[in-house]
Structure 1
Amino acid sequence: MSKTDEPEPEEEEEADDASKIEAANPMEWDEAPNNRKAPAERRTVSHREEKDDATKIVTGEAKYAADYAREFPDLAEAKIVRSDIAHGVVTDIDTSAAEAMDDVYAVVTPDSPEVPNEPYTSAGQSYPEPSPWDLRVLRRKVRFVGDPIAAVVAEDADTASKAARKLDVSYEEYDAVFDTAAATKPDAPQIHDPDEVENHQPGADYERNVESNMAGEIGDVDAAFAEAEERDDLTVIETEWETPYQSHCVPEPHTTIAHRDEDNRYHLISSTQVPYHTRRQLSHLFDVPIKNIQVSKPRIGAGFGSKQGMHTEPIAMALAEAAGRPVMVETTRREQFHAVRNRRPARVTLRSVVTDDGDLRALDMDAVTNSGAYGPHGMTVASAVGKKPLPLYTHTPNIRFEMTAVHTNLPVAGAFRGYGAPQGHLAVEGHMDEIAHELDLDPIELRSRNVISEGDLDVASGILKEKEYGRRIRSCGLDECIAEGRAAIGWDDVEGPDADHLHRACGMALTIQSSGVPGDELGAAHIKMNEDGSFILQTGAVDIGPGADTVMAQIAAEVLGVPPADVLVQPSDTDISPFDHGAYASSTTYITGQAVKKAAEDARGMLFEFASRMLDEPEDAFTVDDGAVVSAVTGESVSLEEIGYESMYGDEVRAHVMGDASHCTEESPPPFGAQFVDVTVNEETGEFEIHDMVYAVDCGVALNPDLVEGQIEGAMHMSYELATGDGIGFDEDGRPETLGFRDYDMPTTADQPPMESIIVETHEPTGPFGAKSVAEIPVNGVPPALSNAVRRAVGVRIGDMPITAEKIKSALDDD
């Protein structure tokens, strides 16, 4: 080798880093022997067990947070008073008329001694929270129509509402800004004083209303685009995409009951996805020891991310102190639409360099998200817009992603199912179709040529990390998802309508998500046996509707050799349940499920100890099956009920059969999916009809196929709403125009197109019995797949959601 051919020091360092990443992420995984079972060997997992609370829900017997009000005879109810201007300062609140009313127990304002004035974040995330501390419980400085400025507590909700209307509020009003582009201009109104915000996020620039700005790069993107200018066989393609506000539309509104118990401890019964995070944050905010706060999570009427944070809890806790009695704060449907949390709007620009054969040489993605008035989840969701979908094409040698989270005087955005991935998938998968159109390539073949596959090392998901990062893909069923979805939608044999003005086509999009937050979550489980051989399972995980408790019971039952009905799962309570980060990031099955499996194995070890004494055989001779410990050597057995009584009342050894375990991991294996949409478009009117929506998912081993299919169909409905619904509207002063379901364009059952779900089973060695996540990934696919279908049908691209007949017709007229 000549001196000129020797590698530069930087190249050697990069090669060394790549080798280290490869070595740190081996394909082989030290999997427990009992984790991999053939379908015929699975006793309870992979079975279609009925959701354990299904009957209670449909009969009305299930108890949600508000149902616990009857347990407090002296319960008072509250009404939050909210700002009716978008930006300004509250100069005075006259509370005298409200306080003079009968049956009004207390009125609190930002100056009330019961109301903390310390900054905090409402985001229910790990400690230390990756969100700015920019909120106050009640606010003098208001930043959107809906900011809480006072609260009233009275004998009942009607009295509280009447009293709230008697508050006389005076403001000094400021100019407001409602668009991210306008908000970052030098002369834009400044929404936050940086000195009043703690825990600033990377790239924060409050003088420009920037909450966070981050960028990362793999390879040399500028060099790739410069090369494309010099070569005829390289094409540069640029696209722009936009998504609006979207409401979670949870059936159960945010509700909290707060009171002091008989030991003078704070007890909150709350519809929260994150009871342990909420306890910690309340402790810091109110300067109360953690041991003096208990958060109980009853049944939750859906969360979708909206309950991953504190919304009603701090106000309820302050009001309970002020009134000296239990207080319930229950939001109205109007508050749910504009004063709680929503999916954040995003504008995404994507540029690529691609060869004539369809090989991606560079991807350059820029995302600007609207955080609204405050910053919970702002940096992390904006980051996810890129780092969630880009791993689909992690082979691309040059990738750059920049994100900017911007404040405006609109409602606060937060966590929402998909967590930035739907916005990113629209851009990435819509862009892939534009490449196929520009180069006259088959859109499926283009994706297959570039997409990630089993055995690959994904580096794109770590694009914003300071250190080199890799994620080994040990399970990937994308090829089968594509094949099965393609066949089910009839991709290869679409029959065009007879009428010349009608055009039919199929569109598709690939999807990817994660299973928990790598290295940043912890799940724990405790299981104990009753005398009759049944079990009580306690976890800190939160079932927010999808059936997590049912799956946890199935996992434990698989290990213990009992039917799932013999495993009773207790609701999460910070006084009783083991610690858990909560229900978010598609983590419950993957993280908590593994803790449950380990805890059940721990208990099973004790079963074997007692069986060994009772049968006089070695412990390694035993298996569990059909409610008994069985010797694989002699065939002798002892029932779990016999062990239960012997363990608790026997003469020789007494010990309660229990198991405990925790689980955390740096792994976050992605599930994969393929979304297909079949549409006919009327070129004369722009109207379109969706004939079918098909989604095929690889979630590893489907621990309960019925629940997996329910997740797919519910998520497709939510995804269809993002693609076609109007979102949440505001007038020129930032006042919400969406005040209830009648104003919100959520598809009804009559509007919903036909759906088909397909489960493609792979085996993920790092997951419990081979499972990965499934809750979020199906929400990513309909907007890009529908946009792509319309593009293939009539040749126009709708990149700003929602896709409407008016937009299609306008684009056709302009074409």
Structure 2
Amino acid sequence: MSRTEEGDEESTPDGASQTDAAPPVEFEEGPDNRRGPDELTAVSSREEKADARKIVTGEAKYTADYAREFPDLAAGKVLRSEIAHGVVTELDTSAAEEMDGVYAVITPDSAEVPNDPYTSAGQSYPEPSPYDLRVLRKRVRYVGDPIAAVAAEDVATARAAVQAIEVSYDERDAVLDAEAAIEPDAPRIHDPESVENHQPGADYERNIEAHAEGEIGDVDGAFEAAADRSDLTVVETEWATPHQSHCVGEPHTTIARRDQDDRYHFVTSTQVPYHARRQLARLFDVPIRDIRVTKPRIGGGFGGKQSIVLEPIALALTMAIDRPVKLEATRKEEFHAMRVRRPASITVRSVVTDEGDLEAIDMSVLTNSGAYGSHGLTASGAIGKKQLALYTHTPNIRLEMTAAHTNRPVAGAMRGYGAPQGHFALEGHMDAVARELGMDPLEFRARNVIGEGDLDVASSILKEGDGEIRGGGRRIRSCGLDECIERGKRAIGWGDVEQPDAPHLHRGIGAALTIQSSGVPNDELGAAHIKMNEDGSFILQTGAVDIGTGADTAMAQIAAEILGAPPEDVLVQPSDTDISPFDYGAYASSTTYVTGTAVKKAAQDAREQLFDFAARLLGEPRETLTARDGAVYAERSGESVSLKEIGYESIYGDEERAQVMGEASHSTPESPPPFGAQFADVTVDERTGEFEVHDLVYAIDCGTVINPDLAEGQVTGAMHMSYELAVGSGFSFDDDGQPEVVGFGDYGIPKADTQPPLTPIFVETHEPSGPFGAKAVAEIPTNGVPPALSNAIRDAVGVRIDDLPITAEKIRAALDAE
């Protein structure tokens, strides 16, 4: 499907020869990893999600449900800035402090409140984000900045106390637009000396949080050649994407307390328990050993809970009153005071031959980080380099990225991590190039797109970043993109569109190719511990975080496949930093690929031990043993011994006693990409611009599917989120930076009666570096709907919407402008 591997002789972004540094095509995998469909027993089966029945019956316990375990629990509330930019000049808390039932009011000057800067981004150490936050702030930079907090006997009292606090501001000019923010005369949002851990390219005089550039080949030379040659065409497009809310079902919630050992214990809805522990220890100057983070069941994260947002305030309150405190965000706070997907403005230029070969891609990205800089460098860089990997054979590629500060809500991590914005631009651009050449859009892509065995150097085009692949690039050892395209084309009816009878209605089909990563290469660690009970069941502990995805169920299936146990006999314990092995947390589509491999290794370790006991019980050599169907079998004799018998023998036996316990860690430089092809079928009314989406088809190669039901849920849920980015009404602000969207009723998220059909198609490949051949699945389906829908509308009525969201008004205006 792709060009030849002539790129192996070119240079990497670091200037080294790819021939010298390129990873080999072959990958050595263990004997247990490559099993045929008939050999798999637990993996690839539709096991029921472990907590499904608890969730639908209301028995599931989330963070807020643990409040009943602390009878002396106080309720916390936060006073947030009412202006977008300024300085708090007076904070009168006297009326609040005198109210009955109020235990404490804390301000930036309170002894319990650290004044050191920190980042809320739950990323690996050292964090690739600036330290620009304070727990409570005198200098406020967006509507929602926390400036004081209250602990009281109940929520109503805490809310009333917050409302009783009087605040005076020295209001300053605000800047809300990223392009305006980087102009020399724009209001300055941060003082450079107040920020630690400056990121590459930071220029706080111009409100630039981070800036990075990378180039492969000679992009300027390619454009200069195009100016002199008639067989080369230059195409330039511009794209814009808005804020997007995570729309989590469970709001951010934290319970902080000091336990009987004078240690601080958090029960909190976080995606990153171990990162949260480390950051809280640093911020409050407490030893890591004295902080414990327990993660209960989480009602959705999508990246929004990869930041420590409420935990520092809750800890300061509990220090002030010496009793447990619960802090729970309101829905209004979720929309404007937690975290959001960053808006982006993207320009794409390319040079292409008459035959359809890409000679150059030049991509420029400007993002709106909002008031503070969590994930600004890494997520903004991902807007370019993630999807540029699709066209890594292009000999000349350049990416420039700038993350700007404004007085808008804080941008953070969100599902897809920059890739949805980048795919909208790049895949829309590829459709525009194909139409400029008069080529079928998919045939054009087929001439240029990456394929199995190829070397990807584009994903490491930016030298600065978060664990990016270095040296010779990333070798693609599994790629089902060809089949994804073909099966998607058949499902959507590509090339066989039947037009409506009404002359004002026009039907079109659009497509977009997608790519993601499986974890962050060179930058993650997953660990697992598994022990056998005497009845042949197992307890599995990982630091991984199930945020509603069903990760615990998938981990149980991976362990069960190795141990020969039914998945229901592998009980997975929730993350707890006092008990669970270390894990970086739930982000970057890493859980199945990284932690799943650690689980597989730990299960193999445990299996070797239980084979020792089985060999004695059966009187057979251990190398002849296999585990399946809840027992260990001897291949030579056909005799078997149950896991239960082995369990009792290991603990109560006469000859030798030892608990069967397996443990392992896994870290890897590999990050195999899943691939996908998104298709959209739409009919547009040219009179009004209104459109109807008939179907959204997504064909995905995520390697081996560990659990088809869970994978389908991930794909359809991500497509829904992607569709919302494409057509939802999103955020709006008035001229003073006041948010106009503070709830689901204002936000315009697609509902059941407006959501088009979602059709997932799985194209299974085998990724040799993944557990049983698995790659990531959770994020990649968020990337495709906006470009596919924009391309479908262009196919239907000849106009392209390059500024999300796609609306009838924009379509009609574009038609009028023709």
TM-score above 0.5, yes or no? yes
Aligned partner of residue 713 in structure 1, secondary structure: helix
Q: Which residue of 2 aligns with 1:3?
A: none
- The alignment's TM-score, normalised by the length of structure 1, stands at 0.98
| Distance in structure 1 (CA, Å) of the matches to 2:495 and 2:687 | 26
Are residues 1:498 and 2:501 paired?
A: yes
Q: Which residue of 2 aligns with 1:4?
A: none
Aligned partner of residue 307 in structure 1, secondary structure: helix
Q: Which residue of 2 aligns with 1:463?
A: 461
| Distance in structure 2 (CA, Å) of the matches to 1:403 and 1:726 | 27
Q: Which residue of 1 aligns with 2:562?
A: 559
Letter in 1 for 2:792: A
Q: 1:13 to 1:469 in 2, by over 3 A?
A: closer
Are residues 1:675 and 2:678 paired?
A: yes
Aligned residues, how many?
805
Letter in 1 for 2:301: G
Contact 1:535 1:566 in 2 (8 A): yes
Shift of 1:91: 1.0
1:713-736 deviation line (CA, Å, top 9, x unaligned): 000100000000121111110000
| Distance in structure 2 (CA, Å) of the matches to 1:778 and 1:160 | 41
Q: Which residue of 2 aligns with 1:156?
A: 154
| Distance in structure 1 (CA, Å) of the matches to 2:17 and 2:338 | 47
Are residues 1:420 and 2:410 paired?
A: no
Q: Which residue of 1 aligns with 2:4?
A: none
Q: Which residue of 1 aligns with 2:5?
A: none
Letter in 1 for 2:425: A
Q: Which residue of 2 aligns with 1:311?
A: 309
Shift of 1:16: 11
Shift of 1:642: 1.0
Q: Which residue of 2 aligns with 1:734?
A: 737
5 Å matches for 1:8-27?
19-20=17-18, 23-27=21-25
| Distance in structure 2 (CA, Å) of the matches to 1:333 and 1:12 | 52
Q: Which residue of 1 aligns with 2:552?
A: 549
| Distance in structure 2 (CA, Å) of the matches to 1:773 and 1:554 | 16
Q: Which residue of 1 aligns with 2:725?
A: 722
Shift of 1:469: 4.1
| Distance in structure 1 (CA, Å) of the matches to 2:19 and 2:51 | 44
| Distance in structure 2 (CA, Å) of the matches to 1:407 and 1:454 | 40
Shift of 1:18: 5.6
Shift of 1:211: 0.2
| Distance in structure 1 (CA, Å) of the matches to 2:131 and 2:226 | 44
1:429-472 deviation line (CA, Å, top 9, x unaligned): 00001001111110010011110000000000000026644000
Q: Which residue of 1 aligns with 2:251?
A: 253
Aligned partner of residue 605 in structure 2, secondary structure: helix
Shift of 1:777: 0.1
1:533-555 deviation line (CA, Å, top 9, x unaligned): 00000000000011000000000
Shift of 1:492: 2.1
Contact 1:462 1:469 in 2 (8 A): no
Letter in 2 for 1:142: V
Are residues 1:770 and 2:773 paired?
A: yes
| Distance in structure 1 (CA, Å) of the matches to 2:191 and 2:67 | 40
| Distance in structure 2 (CA, Å) of the matches to 1:13 and 1:605 | 45
Aligned partner of residue 600 in structure 2, secondary structure: helix
| Distance in structure 1 (CA, Å) of the matches to 2:122 and 2:50 | 27
Q: Which residue of 2 aligns with 1:698?
A: 701
| Distance in structure 1 (CA, Å) of the matches to 2:640 and 2:184 | 78
Contact 2:226 2:234 in 1 (8 A): yes
Residue in structure 1 matching 2:606, options 597, 600, 603: 603
| Distance in structure 1 (CA, Å) of the matches to 2:145 and 2:72 | 29
Q: Which residue of 2 aligns with 1:46?
A: 44
5 Å matches for 1:108-127?
108-127=106-125
State the identity as a percent.
72
Q: Which residue of 2 aligns with 1:584?
A: 587
| Distance in structure 2 (CA, Å) of the matches to 1:12 and 1:524 | 37
Aligned partner of residue 492 in structure 1, secondary structure: coil
Residue in structure 2 matching 1:360, options 355, 358, 361: 358
Residue in structure 2 matching 1:518, options 521, 535, 538: 521
Are residues 1:244 and 2:242 paired?
A: yes
| Distance in structure 1 (CA, Å) of the matches to 2:240 and 2:11 | 39
Contact 1:384 1:420 in 2 (8 A): yes
| Distance in structure 2 (CA, Å) of the matches to 1:689 and 1:616 | 69
Aligned partner of residue 425 in structure 1, secondary structure: helix
Residue in structure 2 matching 1:300, options 276, 298, 301: 298
Q: Which residue of 2 aligns with 1:380?
A: 378
Contact 2:17 2:472 in 1 (8 A): no
| Distance in structure 2 (CA, Å) of the matches to 1:21 and 1:385 | 28
Shift of 1:518: 0.2
Are residues 1:206 and 2:204 paired?
A: yes
Q: Which residue of 2 aligns with 1:235?
A: 233
- The alignment's TM-score, normalised by the length of structure 2, stands at 0.97
1:571-617 deviation line (CA, Å, top 9, x unaligned): 00000000000000000000000000000000000011111222222
Contact 1:175 1:189 in 2 (8 A): yes
Q: 1:172 to 1:469 in 2, by over 3 A?
A: farther
Q: 1:13 to 1:123 in 2, by over 3 A?
A: closer
Structure 1 regions of 5+ residues with no counterpart? 1-10
Are residues 1:653 and 2:653 paired?
A: no
Letter in 2 for 1:603: A
Shift of 1:324: 1.4
Q: 1:13 to 1:775 in 2, by over 3 A?
A: closer
5 Å matches for 1:606-645?
606-645=609-648
| Distance in structure 2 (CA, Å) of the matches to 1:24 and 1:370 | 35
Deviates more, 1:15-24 or 1:253-262: 15-24
| Distance in structure 1 (CA, Å) of the matches to 2:14 and 2:388 | 24
Letter in 2 for 1:726: S
Aligned partner of residue 318 in structure 1, secondary structure: helix
Letter in 2 for 1:420: G
| Distance in structure 2 (CA, Å) of the matches to 1:625 and 1:183 | 62
Q: Which residue of 1 aligns with 2:793?
A: 790
Residue in structure 2 matching 1:804, options 803, 807, 812: 807
Contact 1:117 1:137 in 2 (8 A): yes
Shift of 1:14: 7.4
Letter in 2 for 1:54: A
| Distance in structure 2 (CA, Å) of the matches to 1:620 and 1:690 | 57
Letter in 2 for 1:461: S
1:373-403 deviation line (CA, Å, top 9, x unaligned): 0000000000000011100000000000000
Deviates more, 1:609-618 or 1:133-142: 609-618
Are residues 1:328 and 2:331 paired?
A: no
1:166-188 deviation line (CA, Å, top 9, x unaligned): 00111111111000111011111
| Distance in structure 2 (CA, Å) of the matches to 1:361 and 1:605 | 54
Contact 2:22 2:475 in 1 (8 A): no
Q: 1:32 to 1:346 in 2, by over 3 A?
A: same
Aligned partner of residue 346 in structure 2, secondary structure: strand
Aligned partner of residue 793 in structure 1, secondary structure: helix
Shift of 1:17: 5.7
Q: Which residue of 1 aligns with 2:57?
A: 59
Q: Which residue of 2 aligns with 1:5?
A: none
Are residues 1:343 and 2:351 paired?
A: no
| Distance in structure 2 (CA, Å) of the matches to 1:538 and 1:275 | 14
Q: Which residue of 1 aligns with 2:467?
A: none
Aligned partner of residue 506 in structure 2, secondary structure: strand
Letter in 1 for 2:673: P
Aligned partner of residue 34 in structure 1, secondary structure: coil
| Distance in structure 1 (CA, Å) of the matches to 2:312 and 2:437 | 56
| Distance in structure 2 (CA, Å) of the matches to 1:235 and 1:502 | 33
Residue in structure 2 matching 1:477, options 473, 477, 480: 480
| Distance in structure 2 (CA, Å) of the matches to 1:469 and 1:69 | 52
| Distance in structure 1 (CA, Å) of the matches to 2:543 and 2:14 | 41
Q: Which residue of 1 aligns with 2:172?
A: 174
| Distance in structure 2 (CA, Å) of the matches to 1:257 and 1:754 | 40
**What do you get for the CA RMSD once the two structures are aligned?**
1.2
Aligned partner of residue 35 in structure 1, secondary structure: coil
